Structure 1
Amino acid sequence: MIAVMSTEISFAEKPTLTGERVVLRPVRVVDALAAAAADPEADRLTGTHETFSLEALERWYGSRAEHADRLDLAIAERTTGECVGEVALSDLDVQNRSCSFRISLFDRRSFGQGLGTEASRLILAHAFEAVGVHRIELEVFAFNPRARHVYEKLGFVHEGTRRDALCWDGEWIDGHTMAILADEWATHRGHPHPAG
């Protein structure tokens, strides 16, 4: 078991994290263009009903550096520098050392290439090892079994189901809550299964 740390945690630092295939870097206003051009399938998989104007996205991306309670990083392909998605740690609960996790790949051409898995491992390592977070949770919708498989491969554990949590095109979809704890991460560092 990892001991509770007495220092306050924060996402005020906006790091650049480099992997073999992706670089996670602080989001920039220019990333709004990639987000605005996102495949509608990306919105469906994350349960995003709203559509945002380019101007609204530019304001949002331009304000991310101001927030110590969340960390928004662009996922850029290492070889091209192209922004292909984003990862976020949000809803930081300082007292309970917990936060939420979200990832979105903007174009289905990026699906199934391992970019999301690598990006997830990078940001989870940062949260647990550099920031000192104890618990990270997420919600994945029932119509996204591919994402749930990736989360399980990273070590997230299913904790419960929010029945009919999302209404998409007139159909009710369950949301599955999953979480990973610091002591679990310390044991497997995002590789809980030998082949993972």
Structure 2
Amino acid sequence: MKNRDFTRKPVLNGVKTILRPFEEGDGEQMVPILEELEVRRLTGSASNDDEARKSSTLEEAEHIRVWYATRNASNDRLDLAITDRETGALIGEAVFNEYDENTGNVNFRILIGAAGQGRGIGSEAIALFVRYGFEELDLHRIGLEVYSFNPRAERTYVKNGFVLEGIKREEFAYNGEYIDSKVYGMLRSDYDSRTLHP
């Protein structure tokens, strides 16, 4: 069993993207990404369009800057910036959190702003992050949840080997409409099978 060392913040190189540790000033760039209506809606950060359209207060923006400035010091989770390889622009984040030391299971989150969407960057970022999780951190299971009004993300997760495990019915409400939350997971055996038989 390899050492599940979340203190190490790697650089993961792809064709379209580079995932890297957060750097000074990245928090400032994350503020407008986190303010995008679609980002707020799809991540469940807002419960209606009016709330999603509101700009961050000065206090909220400062909290975001401080949060990203402290990501590299975290030893119980892995947060990496997703960048556009061609331009170097910061376009989102990939995260392993809620790690269970007993089972080797972890939660996965990914967020990409509008500037990085529709070009296959998200799919490549998922593949890079999952590979690091299984091959370097020796994880047992990577799990995630996605709202049912985000079929594009679901297709990308399935394309990358995640399996639908269950549905939390009407767990979220947006603009007064109830939304299901879908639970996806990938086991190390799923990953190994895909690697051996792509």
The answer to whether the superposition gives a TM-score over 0.5 is: yes
* Equivalent position of 2:70 in the other structure: 63
Matched length: 186
> Given the two structures, how large is their TM-score scaled by the length of structure 1?
0.89
Which runs of 5 or more structure 1 residues have no equivalent in the other structure? none
Runs of 4+ in 1 over 4 A off after TM superposition: none
The aligned residue for residue 49 of structure 2 is: none
Q: Deviations over 1:6-53 (max 9, x none)?
A: x65231110011111100001234222222112210121111238572
In structure 2, which of residues 153, 159, 164 is the aligned counterpart of residue 147 of structure 1?
Answer: 153
> Match of 1:44, SS?
helix
In 2, Cα distance between equivalents of 1:166 and 1:104: 18
> Does structure 2 conserve the Cα–Cα contact (< 8 Å) formed by 1:35 and 1:106?
no
- Asked if 1:162 corresponds to 2:168, the answer is yes
**Which of the two has greater helix per residue?**
2
The answer to whether the 8 Å contact 1:93/1:99 transfers is yes
Q: 2:130 aligns with which of 124, 132, 136?
A: 124
Gaps of 5+ in 2: 47-51
**Paired residues of 2:84 and 2:116 also in contact (CA < 8 A):** no
Give the aligned CA root-mean-square deviation in angstroms: 1.8
1:88-109, Cα deviation, whole Å (9 max, x unpaired): 01111111001001111122x4
What amino acid is the match of 1:82? Answer: A
- Report the counterpart of residue 42 of structure 1 in structure 2: 39
Instruction: Quote the residue 2:7 is aligned against.
Output: 12
Measured after TM superposition, the shift of residue 85 of structure 1 is 0.8
Q: Which amino acid aligns with 2:73?
A: E
Percent identical: 37
